[in-house]
Chain A
Amino acid sequence: MSTTTELQATPQAAPARAGFHLPTIQDNPITAVPFSRLVRVETRKQVDTLAGRWFLIILGLVIVVAMTIMLFVDQGDHSYGNYLAAAGIPLGIFLPVLGILSATQEWSQRTAMTTFALEPRRGRVVAAKIASTVLLGLGAVVVTLALGAVGRLLGDLRGAETPWGVDGWMIAGLTLMMTLYVLQGLAFGLAFLSTPAAIVAYFALPTLLPLMSLVSWLATPYEWIDLTMTTAPLTTGEALTGEQWGQLAVSVALWIGVPLVIGVWRVLRREVK
């Protein structure tokens, strides 16, 4: 530290108060914040709040209940895929809420003031949030695979006869679906920047969209824009047809791409108060 020279340069400096010193940081040169560190911070921020923690605990309990029910239906005689669905469906429904909160808490709890003071390049923070949300989705897939295996093993102990039926397509499809769902949550959070609005929109959408199929001339467009419908083939364990890929792409562009673009634009421009 060049404290002494600075003191000489500013002779009018206030006298130091005796007996009090601020500890300094030694041997740690100032370097730029690497992207990986931002991702770690954003990942931690998704689970370190009271709400985040309870959310995960309750989600865990829901999955345990779902698996228990599976074990009692038909003596637990189901394929691995069915167990995966039992664990994966609650995760797929609720985990995106953590993506929503990752975006909205910065504004509702006003932590954006700290976040963007420490990293003024907001685009990097948003990118870190996308990365951490994808990591969260992948983590959920791993948990699903593990819990599904535990469920099926317990089923085996009870004498299940259905084959496991492990299928590469199905696991790949599950991974893609989970990633898309959490990204949709984050995109909605970024677009609304308000927790209640984003959550309501996120959950209302799959409830309201099917109404389209009741109107004859909307039935065909509906097949192209309802993400719940277009992601369903992903977990059937079969390769998607060209048309199914097309439908998936259109619905992803509409419900993930568009809100993400709006959200990034809003975050980059919004004044932090």
Chain B
Amino acid sequence: MIQVQNLVTKYGDFTAVDDVSFTAEAGRVTGFLGPNGAGKSTTMRVMTGLTPATSGTATVLGTPYAQLTNPGRHVGVLLDASAQHAGRTGREVLALGAMTLGIDNRRVDQMLEVVGLTQKESKRRVRNYSLGMRQRLGLASALLGDPKVLILDEPANGLDPAGIRWMRDLLGTFAAEGGTVLLSSHLLHEIERIADDIVVIGRGRIVASGTKEELLRPSGSLVRSIDDQRLEAALVAEGIAVSALPGGGLSVEAETPRVGSIAFSAGLMLTELRGADSQGLEEMFLTLTSDDARQETAA
């Protein structure tokens, strides 16, 4: 389990992480989403003790990371697959890890097999690895100590479709066996498929968090009536946000019973009233982070 409480990280005047709190539960995959520069990687580095927090706490398995006994045996960390010495072989990278952790070298071969790197590939130097191979190596390195928690920053980056599927299965199995997975990604469709819980961060602040079902559940309703203008006025008078749809009808930020009762009180006949369409993760992401996005979207 990972717990982050009121975490703040400042660089001079700039606040990279601003009062972030969330929990990644054991047995579940938690997706960590946010636009570039939103503070995802900084948060993950603070969690693993690589960046000091200005205030607030982050604990892994109930303990600050730096105070874990032999942390690699508890937590698998992959923050940047490219952060490996280009002149070492993949096998050597894992052998050094195994040596530090104090585990048998056979584990190196096991993990190579788990991540699908062949013996031949493992003897090549990391400089000759593709990004996908580096990700696999990084994941092997993270899994080396048989950890209970995985902290992965953009692990699907550079993987081919088969690799992405393989990783999904791997992380699913890991969580199903009781492990905690926290992964960040820009691949929203991947997060949508793999994550049980989602935390969205924008400009250093948490803008949404909850289970995937909660977050993706449609909110609001769509309504058409014989006189949309009067209905809009009636809804706005009740303090409800309304926007007119281009094809006619209104998109209303209230649940259907409320919209129905307001229309009834106003004496307006409805021609259509239904819950809003289920929004995809992409839409939710863009809506939640639109204030923070680097470029305005056409929509």
Contacts and interface: CB of A to CB of B under 8 A. Distances in A.
B49 A37 contact: no
A25 B146 contact: yes
A52 B27 CA distance: 43
B107 interface: yes
A21 B173 contact: yes
A7 B70 CA distance: 25
B99 A25 contact: no
Interface string A49-68: 11110000000000000000
A12 B96 contact: no
Interface in B170-189: 170, 172-178
A157 interface: no
B85 interface: yes
Contact of A7 (B86, B107, B178): B178
B177 A22 contact: yes
Interface residues of B, number: 58
Contact of A113 (B26, B52, B83): B83
B99 A41 contact: yes
A225 B79 CA distance: 44
A112 B125 CA distance: 18
Q: Chain A at the B interface: mostly helix, strand, loop or mixed?
A: loop
A12 B196 contact: yes
Interface in A1-60: 2-3, 6-7, 9-10, 12-17, 20-25, 28, 30-33, 37-38, 40-41, 44-45, 48-52
Interface in A115-132: 116-121
A18 to B, nearest CB: 10
Interface stretch (A103-111, A214-222, A253-261): A103-111
Interface in B137-168: 141, 143, 145-146
A17 B146 CA distance: 19
Interface in B216-271: none
B172 A17 contact: yes
B283 interface: no
Contacts of A10: 25-28, 178
B175 A37 contact: no
A125 B88 CA distance: 19
A6 B28 CA distance: 11
A259 to B, nearest CB: 23
Given A7-B178, A33-B100, A48-B88, A117 B71 contact: yes
Contacts, number: 158
Interface string B72-115: 11100101101111111000110011011111100100100010
A262 interface: no
A3 B82 CA distance: 33
Given A20-B169, A38-B100, A118-B72, A13 B175 contact: yes
Given A22-B173, A110-B80, 8 more contacts: A6-B26, A15-B176, A28-B103, A30-B70, A113-B79, A117-B71, A271-B51, A272-B51
Interface of A: 2-3, 6-7, 9-10, 12-17, 20-25, 28, 30-33, 37-38, 40-41, 44-45, 48-52, 105, 109-114, 116-121, 271-273
Q: Please list the 4 inter-chain residue pairs (A to B) with the smallest Cβ-Cβ separation, ordered nearest first.
A: A10-B27, A6-B178, A50-B87, A110-B83
19 contacts: A6-B177, A9-B27, A10-B26, A14-B175, A16-B176, A21-B173, A22-B146, A22-B177, A30-B70, A32-B69, A33-B102, A37-B102, A40-B99, A41-B100, A48-B88, A50-B125, A51-B87, A114-B84, A118-B100
